[in-house]
Copies of this chain bind each other. A is one copy, B any other.
Amino acid sequence: MRWRTELRDSDPQAICDLVAATGFFTDDEVAIAGELATETLERGDAAGYRFVIAELRGRMTGYACFGPIPATASSYDLYWIAVHPKHQDAGLGRQLIEAAEEAARDAGATQMFVDTAGRSQYRPTRRFYERMGYHVEAELRDFFAPGDDKIIFAKRLNPATRH
């Protein structure tokens, strides 16, 4: 597995393909995932997004997208994390999130937030964040739709816990 943080011109499409392959996201969400990469290629760091990409024999197997939350001193948001179905259950998700946290911490982040949803489809996602040391910081009832809550997880990125 190779790791990199610099985007290539082929990444927006590769990210869309990867995110679509998970079968987890809507077409709109797939498009948004690609747009964040396109915007970053166009605008660089000013876009506010950073990436960690894992590849195997030149194919993207997983990626995470994160960045500083505007108007905050040192809070970061994990916007996207996705692992190709062929490579799930191999600890890649853990490696991606740890790489994102490490990079954020190096950039001065003190806290990572991640938004997810309360409905049952997202149960494995919520379990994953809990295993990674995240806690439920807030629940916004009926945020996405009636009966569909937004769950905000958070994790302190303490320099002392650095490995």
Contact B152 A138 (CB under 8 A): yes
Given A110-B146, A145-B73; A140-B140 close (CB under 8 Å): no
Contact of A141 among B69, B137, B143 (CB under 8 A): B137
Contact B137 A137 (CB under 8 A): no
The proximity string for A residues 29-50 relative to B, scoring 1 for CB distances below 8 Å and 0 otherwise, is 1000000000000000000000
On chain B, the residues within 8 Å of A148 by CB distance are: 73
Contact of A142 among B111, B140, B152 (CB under 8 A): B111
Q: Mostly helix, strand, loop or mixed at chain A's interface?
A: strand
On chain B, the residues within 8 Å of A140 by CB distance are: 113, 137-138, 152, 154
- Chain B residue with minimal CB distance to A117? B71
Contact of A139 among B72, B73, B138 (CB under 8 A): B138
On chain B, the residues within 8 Å of A152 by CB distance are: 138, 140
Residue A61 interfacial (CB < 8 Å): no
On chain B, the residues within 8 Å of A111 by CB distance are: 142-143
On chain B, the residues within 8 Å of A142 by CB distance are: 75, 110-111
Residue A74 interfacial (CB < 8 Å): yes
On chain B, the residues within 8 Å of A141 by CB distance are: 137, 154
CB proximity of A107 to chain B, nearest CB, Å = 16
Alpha-carbon gap, A113 to B138, bound state (A): 14
Contact B113 A146 (CB under 8 A): no
Q: Which 10 A-B pairs have the closest CB atoms?
A: A138-B138, A73-B145, A72-B144, A75-B143, A137-B140, A138-B140, A72-B143, A111-B142, A73-B144, A72-B145
